Amino acid sequence: MKILRNIRYAYQKIRYGFSGRDLWSLDHTITDFVLPRLIAFRNGGGNSSSDGPSGSPLLEGYEEEQFDEMYEEWLRILDKMILAFEYHKLDMEDVESGIDTDKWFVDKPGGKVVFRNDDEEMWEEYKKEAARRDKVMEEGFQLFAKYYRSLWD
């Protein structure tokens, strides 16, 4: 069965350029595609000969003496986008939660998964970090959407 599924995915990849496997977690598939390219774009990996992208959407209509300030702001915006995608890719796997997954059990009356937490303080810190990262990702993804058409070099 696994062999047939892999053959089907290979066929889909050849015929359509992607397979059904890419759709399981489309957000992670997109992150895996965007993140390295966004980093390269930020660092001047396109047509630019500088250490960053050659232009900035913020510069239109501004005086020449504002160029450096606006360009630095554009780099900060790109950094926020990159951090959002990096956090999404990590998916909190780099943060210790204090939860021992070997101690999960199913609560029979309610039928829901319950876990025992060995370190309540660590769990609270984990939840705070998750909430902080969610805010960072929300801001970065909003900036990505806002400046999507400005990501050219």
What is the pLDDT, as a whole number, of residue 146?
Answer: 95
In a domain, 37, yes or no: yes
Domain span at 136 = 25-150
**Does a structural domain hold residue 11?**
no
Examine residue 5 and state whether it is found in any structural domain, yes or no.
Answer: no
Asked whether residue 20 is assigned to any structural domain, the reply reads no
Q: Phi and psi dihedrals of 104, rounded to 5?
A: -70, 145
Flag whether 15 is in a domain: no
Euclidean distance between CA atoms 61 and 58, whole angstroms: 8
Reported as a single tens digit per residue, the pLDDT across 75-87 is 999 999 999 999 9
Identify the pLDDT of residue 105.
54
Q: Is residue 6 part of a domain?
A: no
Would 2 be classed as within a structural domain?
no
Number of domains the chain contains:
1
Evaluate the CA torsion angle 102, 26, 146, 149 in order and state its sign: positive
- 10 in a domain, yes or no? no
Residue ranges in the chain modelled with pLDDT below 50? none
What's the rounded Cα separation, in Å, for the pair 125 and 40?
A: 33
Identify the pLDDT of residue 148. 94
